[in-house]
Structure 1
Amino acid sequence: MKEQLLQVKKHLLTGTSHMIPFIVAGGVLFSISVMLNSTPSAPEEGWLAGLAQIGEAGLTLFIPILGGYIAYSIADKPGLAPGAIGAYLANEVGAGFLGGIFAGFLAGIIVFQLKKIKLPISLKSLGSIFLYPLAGTFLTGGIVVWIIGTPIAALMNNLTGWLNAMSGIGKAPLGAILGGMTAFDMGGPINKVATLFAQTQVDTVPWLMGGVGVAICVPPIGMGIATLLSPKKYNVEEKEAGKAAILMGCVGITEGAIPFAANDPLRVLPSIVAGGIVGNIVPFLMGVVNHAPWGGLIVLPVVEGWFGYILGILIGSLTTALIVNLLKNRNQDAEIKNDEEEFELDIVNI
């Protein structure tokens, strides 16, 4: 079991290590375009719109890269296309980066099993470059589109209806719900339901964005702070991603926390959800109003009650940082590497 868990972690780390440059490059460029724009939103005209488009490309491609290299780690080159295409489709049907991870493992397992089928000698040369990728892509894509897509769409509709029904409860419970949903999958389907719920009512109920604007930026800022508080608990890639995450969080790009969640979901996801809940409740209770359908520090010029807004960001981010560092006892990557080396030495000794 320990060996199997190490293999799962290895495949996941292969995907995230290739994904991080796309998030960092795309996220930072998109952040710069938003910072230089006259309003806290993605620019739509001029050279800044082009810069935003370049950044969006990186933020769009990272999920296919994540799924593709997870599958590559499992099944070698024949798994790359099925994993990338499956992850792209998972994102298209609204499953977000978690769906991308699922699609990557699904494609890798499918292709790995397909490679066990003995091919005639005349077809062996076509296996790796044609037959396995073709069959793997069809099976993975079919499962994502025809089996996963419909339940996700139904879930999103039900969540939206549930939030509308919950709009009359107290600010603290509603803040906890919206904060947790916003932080949970960082730009994924659950995040989108919560943020759209607040964004579509920014003109009539602007205090909703007062809290959600904080919850949007808490995960990346919190994880960035965590790498600064306990650098020995993170690898080199994560520490570099942490610096970019703080910048992305300041301009309202939640995806900056995804590399950490993908590397270590069991510790990171509860931590960012806790931070999102705390960060959302504080401005709700302090009567903060945000007139922009955006989050992060960049919206401060249109925020009423900026002290409560900043306080929510600080408390929420520190909550995330302290919890995740409490849960992380050591650098997980180093632990895996050492275990793998010990396993290899045992085989040699045998």
Structure 2
Amino acid sequence: MDSKKFFSAAQKHLMTATGYMIPFVVAGGVIFAISVMLNGKAAQPTTGWLGQLNMIGSAGLTLFIPALGGYIAYSMADRPGLAPGFITAYLATEIKAGFIGGIIGGVLAGFVVMQLKKIKFSPSYKTLGSIFLYPLGGTLIAGGVMVYLIGEPIASFMTWLTAMLNGMSGVAKAPLGALLGSMIGFDMGGPINKVAATFAQTQVNTLPYLMGGVGSAICVPPIGLGVATLIFKKKFSPAERDSGKAALLMGFCGITEGAIPFATSDPLHVIPANTIGAAVSCVISFMLGCLNHAPWGGLITLPVVENRLGYILAVVVGSLVTASIVGLTKKAYVDGSKFKTEDDEDLDFDIKQF
């Protein structure tokens, strides 16, 4: 397999797994945030019905790395890879190998099951292979490799990475913030966006400042474009101005995809504006020390954000940067229907007259 096919396949498997993982993040993150919001302080409730509600949210957040690994293996090896992928990725989290261990565990399980599926069975025993041999052998081999061979080195690397990122000073964080923010704004929910978001989400328990920056950047493209439709009305069609209202709401909820309709209609002006605005927001959040304890973005996570004013400032400034760039560079909207000539009108006819 050449490098192009390899990276294409890797992207496919990662995007498939990320799509399946996101509901775990959404359900767990939102419920977690609600429990903290109702608790009245930026701390997890541990008793009463709020503590139980927090337990529900935490369950989703506990499972999303195993889900990531499980569905990577599923994408590679179909249903027989699902259990080995989940179990191997879960073992990676238990060993403290983090999201990198989860991804490697999923790839390892998928590869092992793919090799096991090359073993030929007679038609009468084919089902036995799918429900017994492939899951059992895949789990034993991939899980064993994770536990006995690669788990501890990956965990050591993750410990080093965490310490290195935690040790960054304010100035040193700026390039990282610019990179992550740019990735978030560039393709608005696409593969580049998801790589940055997943990196921050899976580090939320150890490096919440990453999610502080990424969480603010996530909502900048839709909010910025929504603001642009309000300030620079002449630059947008009536339909786009209506979409701007929806984009504002989606931005508040941390859904970057609200900016996609604008990027589709005018990518040359909108994508650079989104990229720059999201980068600015992420850098500001990093520099101000904003911490987001939920693996989600937007203003909906404010109950679990430390330094909320700084977080809001990052969102506002980044959104205004995006709106300003779009407003200054985008051409005025021209209604094509106004240029319909008398000759054009003469061409209109009713087929019934023939």
Query: Under TM normalisation by the shorter chain, which class is it?
Result: 0.5 to 0.7
Q: Which residue of 2 aligns with 1:252?
A: none
Matching of residue 298 in structure 1 with residue 303 in structure 2: yes
Q: Which residue of 2 aligns with 1:225?
A: 220
Q: Which residue of 2 aligns with 1:173?
A: 172
Report deviation, 1:10. Answer: 3.1
Matching of residue 47 in structure 1 with residue 32 in structure 2: no
Q: 1:1-350 residue pairs with structure 2 within 5 A?
A: 1=2, 4-119=6-121, 123-159=125-161, 171-173=170-172, 185-188=199-202, 192-195=205-208, 212=209, 215-226=210-221, 247=253, 276-281=282-287, 283=288, 297-298=302-303, 308=310, 310-315=312-317
Which whole-Å CA distance do the structure 1 matches of 2:320 and 2:92 have between them? 32
| Structure 1 residues 72 and 178, CA gap change in structure 2 (3 angstroms) | closer
| Structure 1 residues 121 and 271, CA gap change in structure 2 (3 angstroms) | farther
Report deviation, 1:107. Answer: 1.3
The structure that has the greater radius of gyration is 2
Report deviation, 1:221. Answer: 3.4
After the TM superposition, which of the residue ranges 119-128 and 102-111 deviates more from structure 2?
A: 119-128
Matched residue SS, 1:138? helix
Report deviation, 1:54. Answer: 0.8
What is the one-letter code of the residue matched to 1:220?
G
What is the one-letter code of the residue matched to 2:134?
Y
Report deviation, 1:245. Answer: 8.4
Report deviation, 1:219. Answer: 1.3
| Structure 1 residues 99 and 321, CA gap change in structure 2 (3 angstroms) | farther
Contact 1:70 1:104 in 2 (8 A): yes
Task: Output the aligned Cα RMSD.
Answer: 4.5
Report deviation, 1:272. Answer: 7.8
Deviations 1:93-117 (A, max 9, x none): 2333343233222211210111112
Matched residue SS, 2:219? helix
Report deviation, 1:121. Answer: 6.5
Contact 1:218 1:317 in 2 (8 A): no
Matched residue SS, 1:11? helix
Deviations 1:155-214 (A, max 9, x none): 3444566578x58x7x42367679989x8822445x65545xxxxxxxxxxxxxxxx4xx
Which whole-Å CA distance do the structure 1 matches of 2:53 and 2:35 have between them? 6
Which whole-Å CA distance do the structure 1 matches of 2:90 and 2:277 have between them? 27
Contact 1:42 1:49 in 2 (8 A): yes
What is the one-letter code of the residue matched to 1:115?
K
Deviations 1:59-111 (A, max 9, x none): 22222222222212221221111111112122222333343233222211210
| Structure 1 residues 120 and 225, CA gap change in structure 2 (3 angstroms) | same
Contact 1:218 1:313 in 2 (8 A): no
Runs of 4+ in 1 over 6 A off after TM superposition: 174-181, 242-245, 270-274, 316-322
Q: TM-score, normalised by structure 1?
A: 0.59
Structure 1 unmatched ranges of 5 or more: 196-211, 232-239, 250-255, 258-269, 285-289, 323-350
Matched residue SS, 2:118? coil
Contact 2:285 2:310 in 1 (8 A): no
Which whole-Å CA distance do the structure 2 matches of 1:131 and 1:85 have between them? 15
Which whole-Å CA distance do the structure 1 matches of 2:59 and 2:127 have between them? 34
Contact 2:25 2:60 in 1 (8 A): yes
Contact 1:42 1:52 in 2 (8 A): yes
Percent identity among equivalent residues? 44
Count of residues paired in the alignment: 265
Q: Which residue of 1 aligns with 2:343?
A: none
| Structure 1 residues 244 and 307, CA gap change in structure 2 (3 angstroms) | closer
Contact 1:82 1:136 in 2 (8 A): yes
Q: TM-score, normalised by structure 2?
A: 0.58
| Structure 1 residues 273 and 86, CA gap change in structure 2 (3 angstroms) | farther
